[in-house]
Every structure is written in C-alpha cells, then in structure tokens.
Structure 1
Amino acid sequence: MKKVLAVLLAGILCVGVFAGCGKSDDGGKASAGSQAAQEEKKEGAMVGISVPKASTGWTAAVTYYAEKYCKDNNLNYKLVQAESTNDQANQIDDLISMKPDVIVLLPINDELATAAQTVKDAGITLVNFDRTLGATEPDYYLAGDNPGCGSAGADWMVETLGKEFDVAVCSVTSWGNIAEERKAAFEERLKEIAPEANIVNEYASESASQEDGLKLMSDVLQSNPELDAVFCVDDEQGVGILQAINEANRKDIKAVYAAGGGASVYLDKIKDSAFPIATVSYYPSMICDAIQIAVDVAEGKTHDAKTIEEAVVISADNMDEWKESIGFDPDAPY
C-alpha cells in the first residue's frame, strides 16, 4: 500500500512539475513576443535630426518640441545640436554613418549646403526645416511664411497708424535669407499700400537676442529723436527693443511689430503695452511637422516637396485663440 501511495505521489509531482514548466514556457514566449513587438516599433524608420545648439529661446524650443514629439510617438531617432557650422557639418557626417532613412536638418545658415549635399549623395532623404541651403535642393522643405511675416506687418501697421508715419526697420545680420525675406516683404508691401510712409533707416543686430535688440534700439533712438513705429524681424529682438523704448521713456513711438515667432516673453507684453504691439506666427513646434514628413516618406507616403505654413498676425484681439489653435505649451522655453 505504501508502495502504491509513493508511486501515486511521484506521478502527481511529475504532473505538477511539467504543468509548471509549460506555464513558464508560455509566459516566456509571451514576454519575448511583447519585447519583440516593442523593438520592432522602435526599429521603424530611423530619423536623424540636426539643429543648432540653442542660442535663443526659439532654437531651444525647436529642440524641446522635436524631443517631445519623437518620444511621444515612440520614434527611432537621433537628435544632435551643433555649436557652429563646422560642428554641424561633422555631426551630419556622423548621422550619415548611422544610415538613417531620413535626415531632418535645420541648418545654422546656408554654409551647410555642401554638408547637406552629402546627405543626398549618400541616398538619404533630406528634409530641410526653416533656413534654406543655398544651391542644395532638399527633397522636402518646410518653413513658416517668411515673406508673409513681413508683408502682414505692413498691413497691420497701416491699419494701426494710417498711411503716414516714420518707421525704423531692424534686422539680424546672422540670419541670412530669412531676415532679408521678412524685411524686404515689409518694405515692398508698405511702399505698395502706404507710399507716404517713411522708412527712416535700416538697422541690424548681430543676433536676435534680447540683449542685442536692446543695444540696437538704444542706438536707433539716439539717431531718431522722433519716431512713430518700429519693425523688427524677431520676437526676442522685439523684447529688447521694447525695453529700450520704455527705458528711454519714448512716448512718440506708437506701434512695434515683430515679424516672427510667438515667444511667450513677447506675448506677455502685448496686452499690457501702453501702445499697440503685435507679432506673427512662426512657432518652433513646426519642427514636429517636418519630423512627421520624414516618417511619412520613409514609410512610402507622399508629400508635397514644399510646405509653407501660414503667417497669422497675433495681437491683443486674438492671442488667446491663437495659443489654443496651436496647442501652445507654457513649459516650452519660448
């Protein structure tokens, strides 16, 4: 009897052991399958992203939105930030060596044309964001409407001041074609709709920083004892310009228009300003659209070769609605 019980117990133990092994094996397969699915998702189209290292809030926000978009969408990506044109060219070579499907490039300036051409020569799709690349034609290009940013400023200024006023035009020397497009479009449109308006002079700072804007505008004010308005090419430059006007207690200035951005530090001043000020949409979250183009074309979807996003004037009348329309992120560094 004892022998029979021993045999029965041994059988039960064997069944239990094999049942346990079977369960463990199934669970292992399920876990491995889940991990493989995750790895497969991460191993989708590889996107390289090259941007300048943050010198202004706008470029800092480009990186912020790019990282956030890639992480939120579980993309397979590599983002690098360059301190100089040589640094960016070297980083592009490094990205090429990783064999990505697409590279999204915000160049420091058009000196990156040669480096950009090496991307195309390597058979990698090139999506150019914002600043252009001179003679090198990207496969896809996405930017805000730079001429529209300028011409919209002329329309707003005439609506605000009428057709006769003196205006100073402030640009940024290091920006190349972007600043030139905004400035030229403003001047052309102003001449068209208000030929009596007088551009007292053109001025420029080296960068679009608030500090450079303050220094530039201090010189402009000294050179112009009487002035009605200021046009500048960037929000952050505009903050420095507003600071100079306030510190000089210049009551003669009746309007300031910044041709591009949507920077929170500038938007905060719109409703509290003693005189009308405005900006126009050129928000850094556009980089997300460029990245999505990269993902789409890598997956075989079609896109227009050139995408220009609309320039919308932002004033006290529509600022809240505009913020809501773009999903404005108060945590972004811009």
Structure 2
Amino acid sequence: MKKVLVLLLVLLVATSVVFAQGSKEAGAKKQLMGVVTPSADHGFTAESIRHSEAQVKALSAQYGFDYRFMTAAESSEQSNAVETILGMKPDVLVLWPVNGDELRSVAQSVMDSKVPLIVYDRFIPGLAPDAEISGDNVAIGEGAGRYFNEYFKEDLAKGKVNYLEFKGDSSTVPMERTNGFLSTASPNFNLVQSFVTNWSQQTAMEQMESFLNTKSKAEIESIKAIWTHDDEIVFGIVEALKNYHGNAKINIRLINGVSGGEGFMNLFENSGLAGVDFMTYTFSPSMVRDAIDLGLKVLQGEKLEKNYKVPTEMIDKTNYKTYMQGKLYTVRYSL
C-alpha cells in the first residue's frame, strides 16, 4: 500500500511540474517587431507601405511573432509612434524616418533601451543603429552621371551642356544621389537651376511651368537635359512640357527618373514629347521587404551587418521590355 501511495505521489508531482511548465509556455510573451514608416505622401511610399505591411504580416504568421505597424506623416508623429511601440518592449524596431535629423533623439532612446534598431532608406546623421539598409543612392547618381556623359558625348566635347535638377527633399537620399551624380558627370554639365519637389508630381509640374513661363526664350532653349530624383517628378515635368505653348523651342533631349515603375515604362513609347529620351534607375518599393527580413533575423538571433545596399539597375528604351518580365518588376506588382 505504501508503495502504491509513493508511486501516486511521484506521478502527481511529475504531472504538476509538466502542467506548470505547459502553463508557463502557453502564457509566454511572443516576440514583438515594431515597424514605423512615413505615411503615403506619394506613390512610392504608398507602394512601400503595402509591401512592408504585407511582409511583416506574412512573416508573423509563419514564424509566430507579434508586430505593431504604424505610419505617420510628420517627424513629431513618428516620434510618438516610436515611443508608443517602445513602451510595448519590442524585441526589434524597423524605422523608416520621415526626416533623419528630426528622428535622432527618439532613435537614440531606442538604442539606449537596448532595442535593436534597423533604419531604412532615409538615414539619421550622427547615429549608428544596429543596421542601415537602403537602395544604393550613390550608385544611382554615379550611374546617371556616366549615362549623361555618354549620351551627350559630342555636345560635351564642344562645350557646356545646360541642365535642370529636380530633387526629392532635404533628406540624405537626395544628397547621396546629387553627390553621386556630381562625382561622375562631366564638369561641362552646367546646372542652370535646382528645385526641391518634396517628391510631388504636382509641385514638379508647377516648378517646370514657372520656369517655362518666366525665363527668357534663350534660357529655355539652352536646356538640353533634366536630372531628377524620382519617376513621379518626371511625370509632372512631362505634363508641363506637353502643355507649354510659348514661343521658345524645347531642346530637352534626355530626362531621367528613379524608381522604374509601370508609369515610367509607358514613357518609352507614349510620352507625347517628340525627340525626348528617358532613362531611370530601379528603386523598387518592394525592397522595404528586405528591411523587414532583417528584423526577422534579429528575432532569430542572427548578427546583422552594419550596412546593406540594395543593388540598382539602369532602365532605358533598350532594355525596358526585358526588365518588365523580370523578378524585380513582377514582385513589385504582386500585391
């Protein structure tokens, strides 16, 4: 009888231990990934938000972690979003700043809290997060400079070639693209005027219209190239040029973009501008998925590199049809 009681007692204790362990596991807190992005202020960010949210949702379902996804239009709102997620004690935070300078303080608080921080696209000057990832903006500028050199080879041999520049905003992205361009473009390229569009097609159109309506006939006719930082900027410029009915002759021969989206592909055959060629560099909204993937690596205990660059590819009338059949383009439009 004693042996039976002892055996029952051992079994009861063992069952209690197993039950307690099972309850502990059942109530265990899931890992949490925080993601903060700008809101959809133009097409690129809108596409990027769809891709980032789709990726974090898919990975969460596959690997069993929780996530909190927040967007904000202004830096102050982004700071509040980061602080909200930080209060939830995340295991990693992926941040795409509206403006890096203005997010430095709250980003530093993330690092002070020992939460791994991944910064995407627009970097934060003076901050060294666990990882930075972006498209290769310097390579885009450098490549564009070389393309312009070859395209205007004969003109450059004779003297100056006047061009206009249409930047995105004041973040690190346009700075890298412009510096890259200036590092390879011939010194015979002469910048007549530079505009800041805030990535807006409408703003770019108005700026181009203003140039066409206020400058002299000689100034307008002197422009042979337009160097821009985004496909959408190009769309605004194209509309302004198509709507121009002044007495100056348009001598623009090359306009470049950055993104490689569907709308730009239509320009190669249907721009409505005779004698104007187009070129763009890939900068797909879907590459934000790579930033989310880095967050997953952190949750899985992998050590990250400090810097990641997503390669870029030049697209012009010679290769755009092949590009549209490739993986990068099809993934971009898979949602």
- Which category describes the TM-score, using the shorter chain as reference length? 0.7 to 0.9
Residue 45 of structure 1 contacts residue 295 of structure 1 at CA under 8 Å; is this kept in 2? no
1:104 to 2:94 alignment:
yes
Q: Which residue of 2 aligns with 1:330?
A: 333
Residue 157 of structure 1 contacts residue 257 of structure 1 at CA under 8 Å; is this kept in 2? no
Q: Which residue of 1 aligns with 2:6?
A: none
Q: Which residue of 1 aligns with 2:143?
A: 152
Match of 2:333, SS?
A: coil
Q: Which residue of 1 aligns with 2:202?
A: 211
1:305 to 2:301 alignment:
no
Residue 94 of structure 2 contacts residue 295 of structure 2 at CA under 8 Å; is this kept in 1? yes
**Amino acid in structure 1 at the alignment position of 2:93:** I
Q: Which residue of 1 aligns with 2:270?
A: 272
How far does residue 206 in structure 1 lie from its aligned partner after superposition? 4.1
Residue 109 of structure 1 contacts residue 176 of structure 1 at CA under 8 Å; is this kept in 2? yes
How far does residue 44 in structure 1 lie from its aligned partner after superposition? 5.1
Tell me how far apart the structure 2 counterparts of residues 44 and 292 of structure 1 sit (CA, whole Å): 18
Superposed CA offset, 1:239-293 (max 9, x none): 11111122226541111012x2123222322333342101111111111101111
Tell me how far apart the structure 2 counterparts of residues 325 and 166 of structure 1 sit (CA, whole Å): 37
Residue 236 of structure 1 contacts residue 263 of structure 1 at CA under 8 Å; is this kept in 2? no
Tell me how far apart the structure 2 counterparts of residues 211 and 186 of structure 1 sit (CA, whole Å): 25
**Amino acid in structure 2 at the alignment position of 1:266:** F
Q: Which residue of 2 aligns with 1:72?
A: 58
1:88 to 2:89 alignment:
no
Match of 2:208, SS?
A: helix
Structure 1 portions without partners, runs of 5+: 1-32
The TM-score, its normalising length taken from structure 1, stands at 0.80
> 1:185–1:203: structure 2 CA closer, same or farther, 3 Å change rule?
same
Tell me how far apart the structure 2 counterparts of residues 89 and 206 of structure 1 sit (CA, whole Å): 24
Matches within 5 A, 1:148-297: 148-163=139-154, 164=156, 165-172=161-168, 174-191=169-186, 195=187, 197-222=188-213, 223=215, 224-226=219-221, 227-248=223-244, 251-258=250-257, 260-273=258-271, 274=274, 275-297=276-298
Aligned-pair identity (%): 24
Q: Which residue of 1 aligns with 2:33?
A: 47
Q: Which residue of 2 aligns with 1:12?
A: none
> 1:262–1:268: structure 2 CA closer, same or farther, 3 Å change rule?
same
Q: Which residue of 2 aligns with 1:117?
A: 108
Tell me how far apart the structure 2 counterparts of residues 217 and 328 of structure 1 sit (CA, whole Å): 33
* 263-272 or 294-303, larger mean C-alpha shift: 263-272
Tell me how far apart the structure 2 counterparts of residues 177 and 60 of structure 1 sit (CA, whole Å): 20
Superposed CA offset, 1:26-49 (max 9, x none): xxxxxxx9xx99x99xx7532100
**Amino acid in structure 2 at the alignment position of 1:252:** N
Match of 2:129, SS?
A: coil
Q: Which residue of 2 aligns with 1:315?
A: 316
Residue 162 of structure 2 contacts residue 192 of structure 2 at CA under 8 Å; is this kept in 1? no
Tell me how far apart the structure 2 counterparts of residues 122 and 162 of structure 1 sit (CA, whole Å): 54
RMSD: 2.3
Q: Which residue of 2 aligns with 1:56?
A: 42
* 307-316 or 218-227, larger mean C-alpha shift: 218-227
Structure 2 portions without partners, runs of 5+: 1-21
**Amino acid in structure 1 at the alignment position of 2:298:** V
Tell me how far apart the structure 1 counterparts of residues 191 and 287 of structure 2 sit (CA, whole Å): 34
Residue 153 of structure 1 contacts residue 186 of structure 1 at CA under 8 Å; is this kept in 2? yes
* 224-233 or 98-107, larger mean C-alpha shift: 224-233
Residue 260 of structure 2 contacts residue 284 of structure 2 at CA under 8 Å; is this kept in 1? yes
Tell me how far apart the structure 1 counterparts of residues 189 and 306 of structure 2 sit (CA, whole Å): 39
Residue 164 of structure 2 contacts residue 192 of structure 2 at CA under 8 Å; is this kept in 1? yes
**Amino acid in structure 2 at the alignment position of 1:120:** M
How far does residue 234 in structure 1 lie from its aligned partner after superposition? 1.2
